[in-house]
Amino acid sequence: MPDHQPPAPHGKRRLLIGLVVIIGAVLIILGAVLAVRSWFVTVRQAQAVDASATALTGVVNSRQWSQLAPAVDQAQADAAELNSSTHALSWRVLGMVPFIGASAGATADLAASLDEVLSAARPLVPKAQQVINWQVQGDDGSLDLSSLQGAAPDLRRLGASLADAAARLEQIDTDALLGPLASPVIRFRDLAASSSGPAAAAAELATWGPSMLGADGARTWLVLLENPAEARGGGGFPGGYVTVRARDGRLSVQRTGTSTQLNSVPIPDASAPADARELWQQRLRGWNTVNQTPHFPTVARLATAGMAARGEPVSGVITVNPRVLAAILQVVGPVSADGETITAQNAEQFFTVDVYAKYRDRAQRDRVTMALVDAVIARLLSTRLDPVSLVNALREPVANGDVQVWSADPKEEAWLAGTSVGGVIPDTPGSVVAVALNNSAGSKTDAFMQTGIDYTQGVCPAGTPQSSVTVAIRNDAPANLPRNTGVYDRYDVRGAPAGSTSTVAYIYAPVGATYLSSTIDGKPATVYLGQERGRPVWYAYLPVNRGQTRTLRVQFLEPSVPEVEPRVITQAMVNDPQVVVTSRDACA
């Protein structure tokens, strides 16, 4: 019988299990050590990214454009290094560790987003510096349209990268992150979300702008000068006009004139849709009233037909008002003409109020007004511009509808219709309401009007929602307005009280809406009925004496279209309308 016996099978298994446990423990410890080391290394890299991103923001905010390229390069290099580190195996291990796993994943997402956005932005830096330094304009004043077209693909890529980054970071639960990480995630997420739209819009502008500036042949643009001191549903009284020729990026003024000159030839209205002709009738044939409809493409087509009838064919129509002129003056500085000086601070007040107080004679008033407009345009076309300042100055007027643009080219028209300058009243279902206010007194008292609009959208999942729109108009005209000057006197009512005016309030209800009832100043009242853009249009005349408030309220049923956010479309006015949109449970 041998002295030594082989170990039992279960002894081998225990030995094997022990070895596996030991090896596993070693690997876990090693992984943890590597993960901890990776964490500290990556934290340092993240701090470097935060510092370089902060520096880049400082360069942009302080407009140190000579430092833009190196600042972008540094931020991109730091982001790329951080992105590489967060793709390492050790970092993935960290992603599985309780408490810090969410922060590890968020850091990886933030690094990838920064890397992608900065990589997309880098090719645009030389082009941006050309624009910033105004190296896109030749000696003859023409703009380099080829550079603008060449930037479109890079701008499109940047816009897509920003949108992707915003969507990726939106998925992060910032409440679960370690304290120092939440702030940069939120900051960059919000920045990406707010910048993706403008980048995409810039790409569209770079795509369509060159042809509109004459890259494919000369264009002539009619610029209508609207004055909201006398309200129109499409903006304001068309007090004058300018025709501008664009060829190969060079702009030149062809002609300027007043509304009196425009009115010498009536507008053919055949280009207007049948429902618009039925609603507005002869008012579409007069230059003073052609823009009572709030749907700008209809106004522009009629204006184009009107210019053709005058023997001055145009390729498109642009409307601007004193707020736009004030924005331009922020960039080009004050201008003087005919003994008057206007600045960014006083231009709106001058064109909507002061000019009427100082110049009682209409011909003299028109001469001074157009001389100042000519001076602003001449300064704009001859000045070496700061494009960043120009964009910043025009941002609010463009968003508020103070600028409207229409092109006779069908493709350009379709693109413009989807932008903030399109002036479109949509003809599709949904809880979208438009309110158009038209002065029916022939006075300039709307410079003193305050307007409130309340749209209460009914919500009724199992039935038909019942909604309402309330329009309140307050006349804050001062007591010392001049009388018998043809400016603040009512043409519709002789002997009306001083400061009195009259407004026709048009409510464009949602497509498919059904009228229920209406009140004026809380008392049952009848409204007129029309239709435009496939929408019922309800309107009423509201005479408003100085110091008085008049209120029109209409209740109606509207189809439920949950995917459309409720909103109100308003016109440009001297005093912006105060709009309130609410939703409440209300079934018919």
Dig out the tokens for 160 from the structure: 């897509």
pLDDT value of residue 27: 35
Residue 89, burial from CB neighbour count under 10 angstroms (0-12, 13-18, 19+): exposed
Distance CA(561)–CA(179), nearest Å, equals 41
CB 472 within 8 A of CB 451: yes
**Which residues, other chains included, contact 556 with Cβ-Cβ below 8 Å and sequence gap of 6+?**
466, 467, 468, 469, 509, 513, 514, 515, 516, 536
Lowest-pLDDT choice from 37-41, 100-104, 186-190: 37-41
Cα 335 to Cα 313: distance, rounded to the nearest angstrom: 30
In this structure, what are the phi and psi dihedrals at residue 73, rounded to the nearest 5 degrees? Answer: -60, -45
pLDDT given for residue 303 in this prediction: 97
With cut-offs at 50, 70 and 90, classify the pLDDT of residue 290. very high
pLDDT at 429 over 50: yes
Query: What is d(CA 392, CA 31) in angstroms, rounded to the nearest whole number?
Result: 52
Are the C-beta atoms of 449 and 573 separated by less than 8 Å? Answer: yes
Read off the tokens for 186.
């939120």
Predicted local distance difference test score (pLDDT) of residue 6: 54
Statement: residue 37 has pLDDT above 90: no
In this prediction, residue 26 has a pLDDT band, given cuts at 50, 70 and 90, of very low
Q: Please enumerate in sequence order all residues whose Cβ is within 8 A of that of 296, keeping only pairs 6 or more positions apart, or say none.
A: 234, 319, 404, 406, 422, 423, 424
Percent of the chain as helix, strand, coil, to the nearest 5:
45, 25, 30
In the numeric block, the tokens 């005349």 are attached to: 541
Kindly state the percentage of the chain with pLDDT values over 90.
Answer: 57
Q: CB burial class (10 A; 0-12, 13-18, 19+) of residue 495? A: exposed
What is the pLDDT at residue 98?
A: 53
Lowest-pLDDT range, 135-139, 218-222, 362-366? Answer: 135-139
pLDDT at 34: 38
Ramachandran category for residue 217: left, alpha or beta (phi over 0 → left; psi -120 to 50 → alpha): left
pLDDT for residue 355 is more than 90 = yes
> Within 13 Å of residue 170, how many CA atoms lie on the same side as its CB?
11
**409-438 mean pLDDT:** 96
358-411 pLDDT, tens per residue?
A: 998 999 999 999 999 999 999 999 888 778 888 889 999 999 999 999 999 999
Q: What letter represents residue 203's amino acid?
A: A
Beta-bridge partner residues of 226: 238
The arithmetic mean of pLDDT across residues 239-258, rounded, is: 94
| Ranges 144-148, 220-224, 344-348: which has the least confidence | 144-148
| Greater pLDDT, 65 or 296 | 296
Helix (H) or strand (E) holding 354: none
577 has pLDDT over 80: yes
Q: How far is CA 389 from CA 131, 199, 365, 394, 403, in A?
A: 12, 17, 31, 9, 17
Is residue 16 classed as helix, strand or coil in its secondary structure? helix
Calpha distance 60→50 (Å, rounded): 15
Q: Label residue 254 by pLDDT band (50, 70, 90).
A: very high
434 has a pLDDT exceeding 90: yes
Alpha-carbon distance of 120 to 155, in angstroms, equals: 8
pLDDT tens sequence across 195-217: 888 888 888 988 999 999 999 99
Q: What is the 3-state secondary structure (H, E, C) of 484-517?
A: CCCCCCCCCCCCCCCCCEEEEEEEECCCCCEEEE
What is the predicted pLDDT for the residue at 39? 44
Q: What is the pLDDT of residues 500-539, one digit of tens each?
A: 999 999 999 999 999 999 999 999 999 999 999 999 999 9
More confidently predicted of 217 and 81: 217
pLDDT tops 90 at residue 552: yes
Which of 8 and 87 is assigned the larger pLDDT?
Answer: 87
Side-chain-facing half-sphere of 63: CA atoms under 13 Å: 7
Q: What is the pLDDT of residue 18?
A: 43
Helix (H) or strand (E) holding 444: none
Instruction: Tell me the chain's radius of gyration from C-alpha atoms.
Output: 32
pLDDT digits (tens, 9 = 90+) for 83-100: 787 776 555 555 555 556
d(CA 49, CA 52): 5
Write the DSSP assignment of 242-267 as a string of letters: EEEEEETTEEEEEEEEEHHHHTTSPP
**Amino acid (one-letter) located at 385:** L
Determine the residue type at 130.
Q
Model confidence at 420, pLDDT cuts 50, 70, 90, reads: very high
